Amino acid sequence: MRKPATTFLALISAFAAFGSSVIAAEKPNVLLILADDLGWSDTTLYGTTKFYQTPNIERLARRGMVFTRAYSASPLCSPTRASILSGQSPARIGITSPACHLKQVVMKASVAENGPTASKTLPCQTATRFDTEYYTLAEALKDAGYATGHFGKWHLGAEPYDPLHQGFDVDVPHWPGPGPAGSYVAPWKFPNFKERVPQEHIEDRMGDEAVAFIEQHKDGPFYLNYWQFSVHAPFDAKASLIEKHRGRVDPNDPQRSPTYAAMVESLDDNIGKMLDALDRLKLADRTIVIFYSDNGGNMYNEIDGTTPTSNVPLRGGKATMYEGGVRVPCTIAWPGAVEPGSRSDAMIQSSDLYPTLLEVLALKPQPGQIFDGISIVPALRGQADRTISDRAIFTFFPHAPRVPDHLPPAVAVHQGDWKLIRMFHEGEDGGHAYELYNLREDLSETKNLASSQPERVRELDALIEDFLRRTKAVVPLPNPNYQKPIAGLTAMRDCALRLEDGRLHVTCTGGDPHFQWLPDKPLPVGPLTVELRMKSAAKGSGQLFWHQKGIQPQYFRDRSTVFQPKHDGQFHDYRITLPNQGEALSLRLDPAQGPGEIVIERLLVAGPGGQPLGDWLQLRGE
């Protein structure tokens, strides 16, 4: 959609200069606080944590309404951010993963022509910039006479796709990256934004900058995006707060990272700073405050010897399609309309914020403007409304990042108590596979009911199909290069596998042939030994990787052992030691670095002390 001409903006600006107090009286201010990676169980709103302390989020909740079923549009950040500013689904926008900091400018989503042999689908390629053709929430409010400011994380593209080109008058620190530059605690690495004092915390600075914006525009109206960097990686915090929470750690609590608890506290402190400023300037009664998170809590990195957080009782976390990846904390204060201290189980999504604010502010959308979200004003007013209660919301995530509880490329629908996940082309003969959950009875998504309720699957899948059609989503396609696992092994890249005469034949077709073994359960903690007997007509060194639980990326050179195969066409025995220090979830073998035929007749793994753990080939080969 083309942006409207600037004539109306000029008229509004002139009127604002003449009578800003009139506008302020008619239009409330808007403060939109967006946390980064803050999970549903990371605040004290839902009774799910004893470790984290969020008194200021509770303070905001007492002024407004807590939503128990608020969802991000994606389990990753950039797609959700685009949904907030456009009111549209990531499926329609084309930004489906957080790649907007990359140098390559891609404006449209697409499907790759080729895919790895281990994948049943061809990879979807995300757009990497939020197109300036969208008429953003910031532009709508700016054209209505609002001063607009963005403070904190953006991650939707560098210039000319930055906040200053998307409707914001101010952008601090004007940074396109996926997190704070370098660290939370100064010295930072922002190119044009420096700390005022040594060891200044970026969240404290963002809070101060945002408060200065509020003070400058106290006569209003203003729209302030306070999009916090917290609690995204890198995982660091004020040393004093880390020590404070270190003494509170319960080793039996899955939430036990003192660093993460300190990060949550800094996030909460600066929300308090916003509320203090509104109170001090007597603006609280005419300011709508929205608190939301862009996706679920991070369950796959490691800090303080544990995962950053736990989303229990929800399953999964950031980058997964389960509830832990998409159900997020939310509270909204709207003085005079929302009952203070109220709660709602209405199902809402991040794409609803734009159309909701248009209705609240009595603004009309542009002719032909498309929204995938809806106004949730009836829910905010505590009114029953079938438009909200009967609706379906959709999560489109055509990617499969290798994190715990990840799924293949998928799309999900929530309607009422039910949630259906469609995994593209993961079923028999290229059909889709499904998981169906009743969230009222099974919030932790432990009982897949798809096989016992085929009719409900068909009904909900029809909603998914209609959603994909309406949004013109670029969906994963079947991968013609896909190879089924052979004897427990999966070809990953540049190779094909086959069993013949009790031996594994590996046809290497490129410069990086490799395949992996996924055991039924994690391998024990401690060094692993792999016995390999093979003959090769390829070339180059070999390498054996292990995927250690809780560490990403899945395979990395620091968790591997290099060995030197003899590529003379004769069988040779190799004994390879992996100095694993944690539970290994899988092993990957790179038998060469170039094309050629390889035959393997023994591939055994043993744990600490020589304990036999498994035969990769599910045969002995003697």
pLDDT tens string 170-186: 999 999 999 999 999 99
User: Quick one: what percent of the chain has pLDDT higher than 90?
Assistant: 80
Q: Which helix (H) or strand (E) holds 612?
A: strand 612-615
Q: Contact, 85 vs 141, CB < 8 A? A: no
302: DSSP letter: -
| CA atoms of 457 and 65, how far apart (whole Å) | 33
Q: Contact, 188 vs 234, CB < 8 A? A: no
Residues 259-316 have pLDDT tens digits of 999 999 999 999 999 999 999 999 999 999 999 999 999 998 889 999 999 999 999 9
Of 532, 605, 542, which Cα lies nearest the Cα of 574? 532
Half-sphere exposure of 404 toward its Cβ, with a 13 Å CA cutoff? 21
Q: Is the pLDDT of residue 4 over 90?
A: no
Instruction: Kindly tell me the sign of the dihedral angle through the C-alpha atoms of 375, 379, 381, 387.
Output: positive
486: DSSP letter: B
**Confidence category of residue 34, pLDDT binned at 50, 70, 90:** very high
**Confidence category of residue 536, pLDDT binned at 50, 70, 90:** very high
Q: Is the pLDDT of residue 619 over 80?
A: no
Structure tokens at 102: 């990359």
Per residue, the 3-state secondary structure of 57-94, as one string, reads HHHHHHHCEEEEEEECCCCCHHHHHHHHHHCCCHHHHC
Q: Contact, 437 vs 449, CB < 8 A? A: yes
Q: Output phi, psi for 435, to 5 deg.
A: -130, 130
Task: List CB contacts of 547: < 8 A, sequence separation 6 or more.
Answer: 402, 554, 555, 559, 584, 585, 586, 587, 588
Question: Mean pLDDT in the chain?
Answer: 92
Residue 165, SS3 per DSSP: helix
For the chain, which residues make up each domain, given as ranges?
7-87+135-387, 395-471, 489-615
Structure tokens at 611: 């304990």
Q: CATH number of the domain at 489-615, please?
A: 2.60.120.430
Structure tokens at 80: 């959700």
Residues 132-184 have pLDDT tens digits of 999 999 999 999 999 999 999 999 999 999 999 999 999 999 999 999 999 99
Q: Contact, 271 vs 33, CB < 8 A? A: yes
Strand-strand pairing, 147-152 and 222-227? parallel
pLDDT score for 617? 67
| CA atoms of 467 and 412, how far apart (whole Å) | 10
**Burial of 165: CB neighbours in 10 Å, binned 0-12, 13-18, 19+:** middle
pLDDT score for 219? 94
Q: Output phi, psi for 451, to 5 deg.
A: -70, -25
Crossing angle for the helix pair 202-216 and 258-280, nearest 10 degrees? 10
| CA atoms of 329 and 38, how far apart (whole Å) | 8
Q: Contact, 39 vs 297, CB < 8 A? A: yes
Whether domain 395-471 has CATH 3.90.1150.10: the reply is no
pLDDT score for 126? 97
Q: Is the pLDDT of residue 515 over 80?
A: yes
Residues 411-435 have pLDDT tens digits of 999 999 999 999 999 998 899 999 9
Other C-beta atoms lying within 10 Å of the C-beta of residue 385: 16
pLDDT score for 1? 55
Q: Output phi, psi for 460, to 5 deg.
A: -70, -35
Q: CATH number of the domain at 7-87+135-387, please?
A: 3.40.720.10
- 53-57, 209-213, 584-588: least confident range: 584-588
Mark out the alpha helices in 151-257 (DSSP H runs).
Answer: 202-216, 239-246
Encode burial over 215-242: b for 16+ CB neighbours within 10 A, e otherwise: eebbebbbbbbbbbbbbbebbbbbeebb
pLDDT score for 3? 56
Strand-strand pairing, 342-349 and 331-333? unpaired
Structure tokens at 205: 């600075």
Amino acid at 298: N
Q: Is the pLDDT of residue 22 over 80?
A: no
Residue written as token pair 């004897």:
487
Q: Is the pLDDT of residue 9 over 60?
A: no
**Confidence category of residue 16, pLDDT binned at 50, 70, 90:** very low
Residue written as token pair 């914020």:
353
Instruction: Kindly tell me the sign of the dihedral angle through the C-alpha atoms of 12, 16, 21, 27.
Output: positive
Q: Is the pLDDT of residue 194 over 70?
A: yes
pLDDT score for 457? 98
Q: Contact, 614 vs 546, CB < 8 A? A: no
Torsion (CA) 146, 150, 154, 158 in degrees, nearest 10: 80
pLDDT score for 5? 44
**Average pLDDT in the 22-39 region?**
84
Round the CA-based radius of gyration of the chain to a whole number and report it. Answer: 26
Amino acid at 620: R
**Average pLDDT in the 345-372 region?**
97
Crossing angle for the helix pair 258-280 and 55-63, nearest 10 degrees? 40
Encode burial over 399-413: b for 16+ CB neighbours within 10 A, e otherwise: bbbebebbbbbbbbb
Q: Is the pLDDT of residue 24 over 80?
A: no
| CA atoms of 127 and 472, how far apart (whole Å) | 14
Q: Is the pLDDT of residue 377 over 60?
A: yes
Q: Contact, 44 vs 268, CB < 8 A? A: no
Q: Is the pLDDT of residue 520 over 70?
A: yes
Amino acid at 426: E
Strand-strand pairing, 410-415 and 418-423? antiparallel
Structure tokens at 140: 């709508």
Structure tokens at 622: 């003697």
| CA atoms of 470 and 490, how far apart (whole Å) | 36
pLDDT score for 580? 86
pLDDT score for 15? 37
Amino acid at 482: Y
Q: Contact, 552 vs 481, CB < 8 A? A: no
3-state helix, strand, coil split of the chain in percent (to 5) is 25, 25, 50
pTM greater than 0.75: yes
The DSSP secondary structure of 356-380, one letter per residue, reads HHHHHTT-PPPTT---SS---HHHH
Task: List CB contacts of 324: < 8 A, sequence separation 6 or more.
Answer: 39, 40, 296, 297, 299, 311, 314, 315, 316, 317, 318, 405
Paired residues of 514 in beta bridges: 493
- 16-20, 273-277, 566-570: least confident range: 16-20
